[in-house]
Amino acid sequence: MASIADKYIINNIKYDRRVKLTPEDKLEIHKVYKEGLFSQRELAKIYNVSRRSIQFAIDPKKLEESKKRLAERGGSKIYYNTEESKKAKKEHREYKNKLLKSGIKLKEVA
């Protein structure tokens, strides 16, 4: 069943819980890694993300290549769990409704 929240997208990184690294974080990671101050694993611990996320922040081309290969394989339906997906969608809708009720502007989609 569709929800009012489905008509909106969160267009602010501050409120989008799916975004783990901000553009500023990515620039800092790229800079620090190139200087050789930290390894990818150390940066992953510092930023509380996976090493793969750090790798993508350092080299965005790898992310695009990874997405392309995933699309060629037909997506990630292999690991799809219907119940978990329903639960995640419900929680995300509730979160968006909470943002709307608190007066935070979200971008409306057609």
Which of 19, 3, 2, 22 is CA-nearest to residue 96?
Answer: 3
With respect to residue 81, please indicate whether it lies within any of the assigned structural domains: yes
The model's pLDDT over 61-77, given as tens digits with 9 standing for 90+, comes to 999 999 899 888 877 66
Q: What global pTM score does this model have?
A: 0.67
pLDDT at position 12 is: 79
Q: Is 93 exposed, middle or buried (0-12, 13-18, 19+ CB in 10 A)?
A: middle
8 A C-beta contact, residue 8 and residue 109? yes
Tell me how many domains the chain contains: 1
The model's pLDDT over 37-56, given as tens digits with 9 standing for 90+, comes to 999 999 999 999 999 999 99
- Least confident range from 14-18, 43-47, 99-103: namely 14-18
With respect to residue 88, please indicate whether it lies within any of the assigned structural domains: yes
Full domain range(s) for residue 29: 21-108
With respect to residue 67, please indicate whether it lies within any of the assigned structural domains: yes
Percent of all residues in the chain with a pLDDT value above 70, rounded to a whole number: 93
Q: Compute the Cα dihedral for 39, 59, 85, 107 and give only its sign.
A: positive
With respect to residue 13, please indicate whether it lies within any of the assigned structural domains: no
